[in-house]
Chain A
Amino acid sequence: MDRRTFLKIGGGLVLGAAIAPLPQLVSLLRAEDTASGKTKLGMVIDLNKCKPGCTICVDACRKENNVPPDNYWLRVANIKPKFPNAQNRPIPLLCNHCEDPFCVKVCLVKASFKRKDGIVLIDEHRCIGCRYCMIVCPYKSRSFVFKKTNKWTNPDVPKRMHGVVEKCNFCVHRIDKGLMPACVDACPEKAMVFGNLNNSQSEIAKLIASGKTKTIRPDLSSKPKVYYLGL
């Protein structure tokens, strides 16, 4: 083989390697996050127990997780049927930790991922802040950290640096210790129930099995795991 042929073949290989997604394909072999497990965590919120004007769960979440002032991991919205003389009702909205999450599907770097027990988390070490997940989330659960913050309201829990996306993580640091999420604990009316949907004996499984619960926008088929009683 003479030098020219060698250079031609070598050049061809380099070109092929450059346009083939080699590092990316190799990363596919690195099976990272498995999403099947015996546990399937979810939540039921009883709207009949929700008091108008109450924001105790929102404040507890904000304090527990160092959520910056303009961002909301959990928020209380008011809904009113488009009907004459209708009344406003409060409804807490948070990340639905869907079974088929749109955000996990579209994250460029797999920073948004579904853990084995079904909760959807953001790996804040990997998030590049492209905000595509915010565009695709149909429930508007995600916030972007627009400004640098220097203080912790809860030093036991990390805060997020500016330039990444954040959202409710079901207080993963608490549930891993066997505690309830901060909002569930804080609610004085015990309107929120958190538990394992796969455990047929749990309170949450019984509530959902009763057929009286509804999810938000089930037509989008993201299979949310936050159910509402009295919606």
Chain B
Amino acid sequence: MKKLLAIIGVLIFLVIITSPVLLNVLRGGVGHKVPKPDMVIHKPGKCVEETNYMRANHMDILKKEREKVVRCGRRNTAHSLANCRTCHANREEFCNRCHNYVGVKPECFECHYYSEGRGR
């Protein structure tokens, strides 16, 4: 009796643990792919850092930047959020695309206004 209960328990656990995969299969079939983010750069050109470096490290750059700005008052450097806006003016077309794809919600935008539409 106990053995049967144990087996049923393990099966239920396996179903729960693999439920995201199962749900995706149910929705889109096997081999279903989420489309890669389609980012629009408002003013294309050269970023302050190399693209791959930015992709991996922009959060750390911004974190170090905010310590510098808030604690020491050293503003208006190339790494500030305000500077990002000069080329990436529209958050919806640029920042949100990747963030939605990866499934993160940075809390920066709760306090720092970053426009989600064209212009203001």
Contact = CB atoms under 8 A, between A and B. Distances in A.
Q: Do chains A and B touch in the complex (CB under 8 A)?
A: yes
Interface of A: 32-33, 113, 115-117, 121, 123-125, 152, 155-156, 158-161, 172, 176
Contacts of B58: none
Given A155-B120, A161-B107, A115 B71 contact: yes
Given A116-B73, A161-B110, A176-B75, 12 more contacts: A115-B71, A116-B72, A117-B73, A121-B70, A155-B113, A156-B113, A158-B111, A158-B113, A159-B111, A159-B113, A160-B111, A176-B73
B33 interface: no
Contacts of B107: 161
A4 B56 CA distance: 46
DSSP majority for the A interface? loop
Contacts of B115: 155
Contacts of A123: 70-71
A212 B89 CA distance: 51
Interface in B35-88: 66, 70-73, 75
> For this complex, into which size category does the number of interface residues on chain B fall?
10 to 19
B2 interface: no
Contact of A125 (B70, B73, B113, B120): B70
Contact of A161 (B72, B73, B111, B120): B111
B71 A152 contact: no
B61 to A, nearest CB: 15
Contacts of A161: 107, 110-111
Nearest to A119: B73
B105 interface: no
B3 interface: no
B112 interface: yes
Given A152-B113, A155-B120, A158-B111, A125 B66 contact: yes
Nearest to A33: B71
Contacts of B71: 32-33, 113, 115, 123
A117 B73 CA distance: 9
Nearest to A113: B71
Contacts of B73: 115-117, 172, 176
Interface string B87-120: 0000000000000000000010011110100001
Contacts of A156: 113
25 contacts: A113-B71, A115-B71, A115-B72, A115-B73, A116-B72, A121-B70, A123-B70, A123-B71, A124-B111, A125-B66, A125-B70, A152-B113, A155-B113, A155-B115, A155-B120, A156-B113, A158-B112, A158-B113, A159-B111, A159-B113, A160-B111, A161-B107, A161-B110, A176-B73, A176-B75
